[in-house]
């Protein structure tokens, strides 16, 4: 494994919960940077009396991939160069590796411009140049290419289920195709910060930072985490975050919510029927409540005990993945279907942080990528430094069973993600390793049962 050089300020982990983030979900900026103040999160309940310490499971960092790559595609000739180490632990989006279809990749990456960028820039709001190129998997041949100008270092590209993609511009989104031809798609007032889509891509939630005073309320958000932050006074006066739920088919805005800007990076996990909110019930008990789009009330979907704040995301339209700190069994990752029945559960290493989830378009398979620490996360009471990180790894599993089908180390580290992709069928995985893209061929995924309400 390549050595992680350089030094920077500590990144704080609150009660170890950063190690359980399946995706960047919830409110509060967990994309911490040097000297960055992370907003306080709700108090985590103590262990139940007499429960004793939770069992510990430490992730073992893999020395090499568990399977051999079927294809290795050098990318230096395309203009890509391995970045220095100054970007580490900032979670900036500097690359995006995506399958257009089973046989073509869209590879896009940051292009350094000037000495300042080569020596490091801590500002995630700094613009960047992105070079994009279509690559044939079997031959490694480069096809159409283009250069984009991005307003900042946040995520900038989302693949669509039909092989097209959405690319972020300052005030909205453009849609592109496999020839890298783009057209205007959606525009809103203010500055578009990020979007989310359900697995079926029927709905899109767009988050724009718009002019407004910090005195505006988040009444439309009800008891949301954003409203709680407002009540606690943990907001700033940079503007108002306008959250629009949009039907992808016709662009209709079905719901608009305004909340104070608190450096949020995502919304509640969503599927084609609604989204899931997390509610702290009592002690170590938590409830995941399903809220249909446009409805004022929902219903309880999942109940779990956790001594840290559980995190959740949809793997596909009918499967919710929940991570938690079991009071006695340690860190767990559990899949639930959308009628509230458990599907499978597995252990999670307490020495991991900032996981990211990439899924196949058919929902059959997922890849979970995370940083592996040298010790359990709770040991780093003063924060995490670069030298505390063993490296970055990815584990690919079947969504239906949770069974691992491959794992591999990933270098260089991109803690903002974008360096791993799963093909539409789940039969191929692409990883940016060193100066090459490695493509792995996997057996057919387990058959996934679809649940209906």
Coil, strand, or helix at residue 18? helix
For residue 335, count other CB atoms closer than 10 A to its CB.
21
C-alpha to C-alpha distances, 189 to 186, 243, 267, 364, 381, nearest whole angstrom:
11, 12, 19, 37, 41
CA atoms lying within 13 Å on the CB side of residue 288: 31
The residue that leads in pLDDT, 126 or 442, is 442
* Mean pLDDT of the region 303-317: 93
The residue that leads in pLDDT, 162 or 377, is 162
Q: Which pLDDT belongs to residue 444?
A: 94
Give the largest Cα separation in the chain, rounded: 63
CA–CA dist 383, 270 (Å, integer): 31
Say if CB 90 and CB 354 are below 8 A apart: no
Say if CB 359 and CB 315 are below 8 A apart: yes
CA–CA dist 421, 444 (Å, integer): 16
Coil, strand, or helix at residue 46? coil
If residue 228 lies in a helix (H) or strand (E), which one and from where to where?
helix 225-231
pLDDT at 220 over 60: no
Q: Which residues pair with 271 in a beta bridge?
A: none
Q: Which pLDDT belongs to residue 340?
A: 93
CA–CA dist 208, 213 (Å, integer): 15
If residue 96 lies in a helix (H) or strand (E), which one and from where to where?
strand 95-101
411-435: buried (b, 16+ CB within 10 Å) or exposed (e) per residue?
Answer: bbbbbbbbbbbbbbbbbbbbbbbee
The residue that leads in pLDDT, 450 or 417, is 417
* Mean pLDDT of the region 115-125: 53
CA–CA dist 161, 165 (Å, integer): 8
Q: Which residues pair with 398 in a beta bridge?
A: 365
pLDDT at 45 over 50: no
Q: Residue 357: what are its φ and ψ, rounded to 5°? A: -120, 125
pLDDT (tens digit, 9 = 90+) per residue, 226-263?
A: 444 444 444 445 678 899 999 999 999 998 988 887 76
Predicted structure pTM score: 0.84
In sequence order, what are the residues at sequence separation of 6 or more whose Cβ sits closer than 8 angstroms to the Cβ of residue 452?
339
Say if CB 160 and CB 201 are below 8 A apart: yes
Q: How confident is the model at residue 206 (pLDDT cuts 50, 70, 90)?
A: very high
The whole-angstrom distance between residue 393's C-alpha and the CA centroid of its chain comes to 15
Q: Which pLDDT belongs to residue 446?
A: 85
Closest C-alpha to 215, from 192, 232, 240? 240
Q: How confident is the model at residue 90 (pLDDT cuts 50, 70, 90)?
A: confident
* Mean pLDDT of the region 132-144: 98
Say if CB 100 and CB 127 are below 8 A apart: no
Closest C-alpha to 442, from 403, 388, 386? 403
Name the CATH superfamily for 17-45+58-441. YVTN repeat-like/Quinoprotein amine dehydrogenase (2.130.10.10)
- Look at the alpha carbons of 112, 127, 195, 26 in this order and tell me if their dihedral is positive or negative: positive
């Amino acid at each position: 494994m390549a050595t992680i050089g350089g030094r920077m300020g500590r990144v704080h982990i609150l009660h170890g919960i950063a190690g359980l983030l399946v995706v960047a979900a919830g409110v509060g900026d967990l994309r911490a940077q040097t000297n960055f103040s992370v907003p306080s999160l709700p108090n985590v309940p103590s262990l139940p009396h007499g429960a004793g310490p939770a069992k510990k499971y430490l992730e073992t960092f893999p020395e090499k991939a568990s399977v051999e790559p079927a294809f290795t595609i050098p990318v230096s000739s395309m203009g890509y160069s391995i970045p220095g180490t100054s970007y580490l632990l900032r979670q900036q989006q500097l690359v995006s590796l995506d399958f257009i279809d089973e046989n073509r990749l869209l590879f896009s990456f940051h292009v350094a411009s000037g000495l300042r960028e080569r020596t490091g820039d801590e500002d995630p709001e700094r613009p960047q140049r992105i070079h994009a190129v279509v690559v044939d998997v079997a031959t490694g041949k480069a096809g159409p290419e283009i250069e984009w100008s991005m307003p900042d270092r946040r995520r900038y590209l989302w693949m669509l289920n039909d092989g097209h993609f959405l690319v972020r511009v300052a005030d909205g989104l453009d849609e592109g195709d496999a020839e890298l031809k783009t057209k205007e798609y959606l525009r809103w007032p203010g500055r578009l910060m990020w979007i989310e889509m359900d697995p079926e891509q029927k709905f899109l939630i767009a988050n724009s930072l718009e002019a407004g005073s910090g005195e505006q309320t988040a009444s439309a958000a009800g008891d949301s985490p954003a409203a709680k932050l407002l009540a606690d006074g943990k907001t700033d006066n940079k503007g108002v975050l306008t959250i629009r739920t949009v039907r992808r088919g016709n662009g209709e805005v079905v719901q608009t919510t305004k909340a104070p800007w608190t450096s949020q990076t995502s919304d509640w996990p969503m599927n084609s029927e609604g989204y899931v909110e997390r509610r702290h019930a009592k002690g170590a008990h938590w409830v995941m409540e399903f809220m249909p789009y446009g409805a004022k009330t929902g219903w309880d979907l999942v109940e779990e005990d956790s001594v840290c704040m559980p995190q959740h995301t949809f793997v596909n339209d009918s499967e919710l993945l929940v991570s938690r700190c079991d009071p006695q069994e340690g860190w767990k990752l559990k899949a639930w279907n959308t009628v509230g029945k458990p599907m499978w559960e597995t252990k999670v290493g307490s020495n991991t942080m900032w996981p990211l989830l990439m899924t196949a378009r058919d929902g059959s398979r997922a890849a979970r990528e995370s940083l592996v620490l040298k010790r359990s996360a709770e040991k780093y009471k003063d924060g995490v430094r670069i030298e505390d990180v063993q490296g970055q790894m990815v584990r690919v599993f079947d969504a239906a069973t949770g069974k691992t089908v491959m794992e591999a180390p990933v270098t260089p580290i991109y803690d903002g993600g974008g360096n791993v992709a799963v093909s539409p069928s789940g039969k191929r995985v692409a990883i940016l390793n060193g100066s090459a893209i490695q493509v792995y061929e996997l057996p057919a995924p387990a058959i996934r049962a679809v649940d209906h309400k």
